[in-house]
Structure 1
Amino acid sequence: MIRIIATFTVRPDAVEEFTAKAIQLVAGSRAEPGNISYELLRARGDATTLTFLEAWADDAAIEAHNNSAHFTTLIPQLIALSDGDPAIVQYEPA
């Protein structure tokens, strides 16, 4: 299993719009083959820090996800609502 943590720093004026679009990304991603879990979290005490916690079966599932219509449509929109690019780290069991 591969886990991904993707953290976005969202512009304060765009948090509501970002969250609405992120919820669409979560729904589409959860329906994909190879997805184990996909969550959107907000930092306690900082409404502008939103993080996706993902778990995928393998690299093929991640590649399919990264090429999916909802991902390629929504991620550029989420980045446009953010202050810079997201911090994305992939993890595997130690």
Structure 2
Amino acid sequence: MIFIAVKFTVRSEERDNWLPAVEPFTLATRQEPGNVFFEWSYSVENPDQFVLLEAFASPEAGEAHVKSEHFASAMDLMADLVAETPEIINVEVPGEGWSRMAEVTPRSR
């Protein structure tokens, strides 16, 4: 599985526009055959920073993603909204998605 984490720092004046702007990209990516997940969050420390966690079933699925029309369109759009070049981690990991964390289990109440 290819796991990718990307930090996008957006221009302050574009903060409220970011999620609506990337929604078509998000929806299209989630429909890709090899997409495992594609999830947006935002930083609690920097209100202008959004974090994207994404995974693809194989290197080929990841390659197809970056060659897609919706990827190219999103990169073009993002260039007008970001305040700096995004930071990325891109690694191949074993597994097919999220696993349960062994160290924390909800207590009965």
* Deviation at residue 10 of structure 1 after TM alignment: 0.4
The structure carrying a bigger helix percent of its residues is: 1
Q: State how far apart, in whole Å, the 1-side matches of 2:6 and 2:79 are.
A: 12
- Counterpart of 1:78 in structure 2 is 78
Q: State how far apart, in whole Å, the 1-side matches of 2:88 and 2:45 are.
A: 21
Deviates more, 1:54-63 or 1:13-22: 13-22
For this pair of structures, how many residues does the alignment match? 94
Large movers: runs of 4+ above 4 Å:
none
Q: State how far apart, in whole Å, the 1-side matches of 2:93 and 2:32 are.
A: 22
What is the DSSP-based 3-state SS (H/G/I as helix, E as strand, rest coil) of the residue aligned with 1:63? helix
What is the DSSP-based 3-state SS (H/G/I as helix, E as strand, rest coil) of the residue aligned with 1:14? helix
* Deviation at residue 36 of structure 1 after TM alignment: 0.4
The structure carrying a bigger strand percent of its residues is: 1
Deviates more, 1:31-40 or 1:74-83: 74-83
Do the aligned partners of 1:79 and 1:86 also contact (CA within 8 Å) in 2? Answer: no
- Counterpart of 2:53 in structure 1 is 53
For structure 2, which runs of at least 5 residues remain unmatched after alignment? Answer: 95-109
Note the alpha carbon deviations across 1:13-64, whole angstroms, 9 max, x for none: 0112222122222111000010000001111142210011001111111111
Q: What is the TM-score with the length of structure 1 in the denominator?
A: 0.90
RMSD: 1.4
- Counterpart of 2:26 in structure 1 is 26
What is the DSSP-based 3-state SS (H/G/I as helix, E as strand, rest coil) of the residue aligned with 2:72? helix
* Deviation at residue 66 of structure 1 after TM alignment: 0.6
* Deviation at residue 79 of structure 1 after TM alignment: 2.5
Q: What is the TM-score with the length of structure 2 in the denominator?
A: 0.79
For structure 1, which runs of at least 5 residues remain unmatched after alignment? Answer: none
* Deviation at residue 74 of structure 1 after TM alignment: 1.2
- Counterpart of 1:92 in structure 2 is 92
Do the aligned partners of 1:6 and 1:86 also contact (CA within 8 Å) in 2? Answer: yes
